Amino acid sequence: MIVSPCISICKTDPKTGYCYGCGRSNEEKKMWKLETTLDQWKKNNIKSIKKRLKGWQLESFEESYTYKIENGISLYKKKLQNE
């Protein structure tokens, strides 16, 4: 199973149409939820996301996504639980 790249920062940039948190378009988000979407498509989408994001945004995504894969929760959600 490929873990969704959603890191719980769900706000779309009106200029690019990509989410500030995960870098996906709304169409890509829909594709992730379909049972028929292949793992290879998801792997390719994550590669596309990483090419799309730059600087601090890419660093933040990488850190939170890695944490989510290892712990089952994004860093943002973890912080909310601890407050």
Find, among 55, 22, 58, 73, the residue nearest to 11 by Cα: 22
pLDDT tens digit sequence for 4-61: 999 999 999 999 999 999 999 999 999 999 999 999 999 999 999 999 999 999 999 9
Task: Say what the pTM is.
Answer: 0.89
Which residue did the predictor score with more confidence, 29 or 80? 29
Residues in contact with 12: Cβ distance below 8 Å, sequence separation at least 6, in sequence order: 18, 19, 20, 26
| In the predicted structure, residue 66 carries a pLDDT above the cut 90 | yes
| In the predicted structure, residue 79 carries a pLDDT above the cut 90 | no
Tell the burial category of 44 from Cβ atoms under 10 Å away from its Cβ (0-12, 13-18, 19+).
exposed
Find, among 1, 23, 4, the residue nearest to 77 by Cα: 4
Residue 23's pLDDT is what?
Answer: 97
